[in-house]
Amino acid sequence: MFELTMKADTDSFRDNLYDLLQEVAASIIEDHKQENELPYMISKAQLAKHIFNVSSQTLDAHVINRPDFPKFKIGERILFPRDMVLDWIRNHVEVVEKIKLTS
């Protein structure tokens, strides 16, 4: 007869969990720091690169022209209030529960 016994190494598990939580916390702090390094009013190029991580053309086609998207026009220039944009994103995120794979 074959018998297998497994025993969890609680110290190792605790250390690994602690390391993982430290990494997550450091990542959150870095993301927050980067958000706050942007000026309060940002350009379309900054918005595309630093907030949405898409091209300016994609931003034009899918986001900027929405009537509820926060923007501020100064003469011919359009600027975007960083904090209002981040709030808008938080309020308009859709969580995809199921992803349909096509073959």
Low-confidence ranges of the chain (pLDDT < 50): none
Q: What percent of the chain has pLDDT over 90?
A: 41
C-alpha span between 2 and 11 (Å, rounded) = 28
Whether pTM exceeds 0.75: no
